[in-house]
Amino acid sequence: MRDRVNRLMALIIQACALSSVLVLMGIFLMLLINGAMLFKEVSVFDFLTGMTWNPGAFDGPAYGALSLIWSTILVTIGAMLMAIPLGIAMAAFMSEVAPRFWRNLLKPLIELLAGIPSVVLGFIGIELIGPLLQKYLGLSTGFNALNGSILLCLMALPTIISLSEEAIRAVPFSFKEASYGLGAGKWETLIKVTLPACTSGLIASSMLGLGRALGETMTVLMVTGNALQFPHGFYDSVRTLTSTIAIELGEVASGTTHYFALFAVASLLFCLCLIINIAAEAIAAKFRYRQT
């Protein structure tokens, strides 16, 4: 009897696990099939290299996703340039330097940061960060890529900090003992021994933070200005892949070229996220292997 129950439970759990894979495959297929319909009317080359995206334009639609792709990359790179050094420094501080009191205070605070809804962050971007950028950088408007990057940095930080901290903690104590034994100080040990020992863990945490930033929609939509131009720097307004979908999906009628174009954009985004996540997993796996 018990045996049968066990086998049944195992089966149910298996089905649950399988269903999530099925859902993932289903989403991917749906995006791909609908997205592929676009290429009946627009060539893949034009889609990937066209500089203008304006499906409802006054003088005929244009489906060039390059400026959207570049916008997404620009905002994400900006966010990572800030979040990775900051996140790793914070993690190192928390795991190696900070007294217990600080660690116990900071850890829940950082987790709280992860819980802020993206709309609220967007609001902060409009009301606080935008005007600050205007004032201190002498810009005429706060709706630009930099504003988006700063907010995405805030969103990616919790992921990067907590995963990096775990990686740093996982470095065997014997490494540090050896370093101290050779006469190295605390600082030298951290920079030359501990951090290099967990590089792959730090890379994996950064990649996961990157994935989080890449897929974020609401915050970016609210603060980057969504201009259709090809952005030339962080002070320009950008329109990312995610905001384009969010803006246009509401007005599009199903079955039209525009509709399929949005699916093509979504597939592009899905592929980007997939590549980053797979890379992060691969690096993390290597890291686990080295620990044992």
Partner 1 sequence: MIRPYGTVIFIVFFAFSGCRQVADFRFIKVMGSDSEVNLVLSMAEKYMQRDSLASIGIIGGGSGMGIASLINQRAQLANSSRELTEKETNLLKEKNIEILRLVFALDAIAFVVHKDHPLDTITLSQVSALYQGNIRDWSEISRQQGPVRLYGRQSNSGTYLYLRDQIVKAEYDNSLLGLNGNAQILEAIRQDVSGIGYVSVGYLEGKSASEKQIKVLMVKNEENGNCYSPLSQEDLKAGLYPVQRPLLQFLALPASDLALDFVQFELSAEGQDMIRKNGYLPLDTLTHQQMLKALTKARQHEG
Mark the segment that binds partner 1 (CB under 8 A) among 12-20, 55-63, 107-115, 194-202.
55-63
Output the smallest distance, CB 272 to partner 1, in A. Answer: 20
Task: Between 11 and 119, name the residue whose CB sits nearer to partner 1.
Answer: 119
Residues 58-117 that bind partner 1 (CB under 8 A): 58-59
Residues 133-162 that bind partner 1 (CB under 8 A): 134, 140-143
3-state secondary structure the chain: CHHHHHHHHHHHHHHHHHHHHHHHHHHHHHHHHHHHHHCCCCCHHHHHHCCCEECCCCCCCEECCHHHHHHHHHHHHHHHHHHHHHHHHHHHHHHHHCCHHHHHHHHHHHHHHHCCCHHHHHHHHHHHHHHHHHHHHCCCCCCCHHHHHHHHHHHHHHHHHHHHHHHHHCCCHHHHHHHHHCCCCHHHHHHHHHHHHCHHHHHHHHHHHHHHHHHCCHHHHHHCECCCCCCCCCCCCECCHHHHHHHHHCCCCCCCHHHHHHHHHHHHHHHHHHHHHHHHHHHHHHHHHHHC
Task: Between 76 and 244, name the residue whose CB sits nearer to partner 1.
Answer: 244
Mark the segment that binds partner 1 (CB under 8 A) among 39-47, 76-84, 214-222, 264-272.
214-222
Task: Between 114 and 247, name the residue whose CB sits nearer to partner 1.
Answer: 247
Interface ranges with partner 1 (CB under 8 A): 52, 54-59, 119, 122-123, 126, 130-131, 134, 140-143, 217-218, 221-222, 225-230, 237, 239, 246-254, 256
